[in-house]
């Protein structure tokens, strides 16, 4: 009699890439990164870290990212030139090395301190240079049909302000609105299944006990991270391929709903609460 062992999803050989952006190995962000490495590795995952500052990763997207001559030096267009270079295998080695890591990963975690309501410049450079047209998206294959749709991604970051300050009545504004350009305009655009963010609210203002509790909460979440459901976004099929507008039937279907569809595509209605913070919202 043959016995077949069913291996739970989390114990399978999943690969995780952590894109890490902090200058200090003694930072809270470094502790959060290390916790992820430790917990995920203990579950049998292969975890690789791209430590951008330690790598001295080049942030500027320039013609130097292309080996050999560019197609049009006088009117240089980075997206078009890097798409062609990707197709011909002429991208710079630091870009192709990161693309290889990304191609092999099932989950990508971006670990960083929030700078100016976004990611640090060095991480934005990673995004600009690594997620090239042709590799991560095309005009035809983006959003729900993006080229990275089989992968999961998430943001894990620290803030300098308290959670209450990132509310709909707080001086920084609703965090759901802040995250829309990153989670929809970058991650979802490339097709990623976007997991809810892990937000560490103002650890620099917290007590040692509170910081420890934050990390323990992260460790606990990591135990089931790969089984989590992603955030909700609108399928590309809901848009007219010529006008790029929601189709009339979709608009009619949601006309009587209290809230908009998403933070960005809200139909002039109140924003759906926690749409960029919790799955199913």
Q: How confident is the model at residue 280 (pLDDT cuts 50, 70, 90)?
A: confident
More confident residue, 7 or 138: 138
DSSP 8-class letter at 276: T
Residues with Cβ within 8 Å of 64's Cβ and at least 6 positions away in sequence, in order, are 58, 92
Q: How confident is the model at residue 7 (pLDDT cuts 50, 70, 90)?
A: very low
Among the listed residues 230, 91, 87, 237, the one whose alpha carbon sits nearest the alpha carbon of residue 149: 230
Q: How confident is the model at residue 281 (pLDDT cuts 50, 70, 90)?
A: confident
The residue extents of the domains of the chain are: 15-231, 232-280
225-to-165, 183, 242 alpha-carbon distances in Å = 27, 17, 38
Residues with Cβ within 8 Å of 142's Cβ and at least 6 positions away in sequence, in order, are 189, 190, 191, 236
246, pLDDT greater than 60? yes
Residue-averaged pLDDT of the chain: 93
Separation of alpha carbons 88 and 92, rounded Å: 12
> Do the beta carbons of residue 211 and residue 203 sit within 8 Å?
yes
Percent over 90 (pLDDT), the chain:
94
Residues with Cβ within 8 Å of 144's Cβ and at least 6 positions away in sequence, in order, are 188, 191, 233, 234, 235, 236, 237
252, pLDDT greater than 70? yes
4, pLDDT greater than 60? no
Average pLDDT over residues 194-219: 97
Among the listed residues 181, 281, 267, the one whose alpha carbon sits nearest the alpha carbon of residue 231: 281
234, pLDDT greater than 90? yes
CB atoms within 10 A of CB 141: 17
C-alpha of 128 from chain center: 13
> Do the beta carbons of residue 277 and residue 177 sit within 8 Å?
no
Residue 154 burial (10 A CB sphere; 0-12, 13-18, 19+): buried
pLDDT at 12: 59
96-to-67, 115, 119, 130 alpha-carbon distances in Å = 12, 27, 22, 8
Interhelix angle 208-222/28-42, nearest 10 degrees = 30
Sign of CA dihedral 197, 134, 131, 265: negative
Percent over 70 (pLDDT), the chain:
95
Average pLDDT over residues 46-69: 97
Q: How confident is the model at residue 81 (pLDDT cuts 50, 70, 90)?
A: very high
3, pLDDT greater than 80? no
267, pLDDT greater than 50? yes
b/e 64-73 (16+ beta carbons within 10 angstroms → b): ebbeeebeee
237, pLDDT greater than 80? yes
pLDDT at 127: 98
CATH architecture of 15-231: 3-Layer(aba) Sandwich (3.40)
More confident residue, 10 or 124: 124
Q: Quick: pLDDT tens for 145-168.
A: 999 999 999 999 999 999 999 999
Q: How confident is the model at residue 8 (pLDDT cuts 50, 70, 90)?
A: very low
Question: What is residue 15's three-state secondary structure?
Answer: strand
Average pLDDT over residues 117-138: 98
């Amino acid at each position: 009699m043959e016995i077949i062992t069913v291996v739970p999803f989390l114990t399978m050989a999943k690969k995780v890439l952590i894109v890490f952006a902090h200058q200090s190995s003694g930072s809270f962000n470094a502790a959060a990164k290390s916790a992820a490495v430790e917990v995920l590795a203990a579950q049998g995952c292969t975890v690789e870290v791209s430590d951008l500052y330690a790598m001295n990763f080049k942030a500027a997207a320039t013609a130097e990212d292309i080996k050999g001559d560019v197609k049009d030096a006088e009117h240089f267009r980075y997206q078009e030139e890097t798409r062609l270079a990707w197709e011909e295998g002429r991208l710079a080695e630091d870009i192709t090395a990161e693309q290889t890591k990304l191609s092999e990963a099932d989950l990508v975690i971006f670990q960083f301190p929030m700078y100016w309501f976004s990611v640090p410049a060095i991480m934005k450079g990673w995004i600009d240079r690594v997620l090239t047209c042709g590799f991560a998206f095309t005009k035809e294959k983006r959003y729900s049909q993006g080229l990275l749709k089989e992968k999961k991604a998430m943001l894990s970051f620290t803030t300098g302000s308290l959670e209450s300050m990132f509310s709909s009545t707080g001086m920084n504004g609703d965090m759901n609105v802040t995250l829309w350009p990153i989670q929809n305009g970058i991650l979802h655009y490339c097709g990623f299944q976007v997991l809810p963010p892990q937000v560490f609210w103002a650890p620099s203002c917290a007590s040692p006990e509170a910081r420890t509790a934050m990390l323990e909460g992260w460790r606990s979440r990591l135990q089931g991270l790969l089984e989590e459901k992603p955030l909700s976004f609108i399928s590309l099929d809901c848009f007219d391929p010529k006008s790029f507008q929601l189709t009339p039937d979709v608009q009619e279907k949601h006309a009587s709903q209290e809230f908009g569809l998403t933070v960005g595509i809200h139909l002039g209605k109140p924003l759906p609460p926690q749409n960029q913070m919790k799955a199913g919202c």
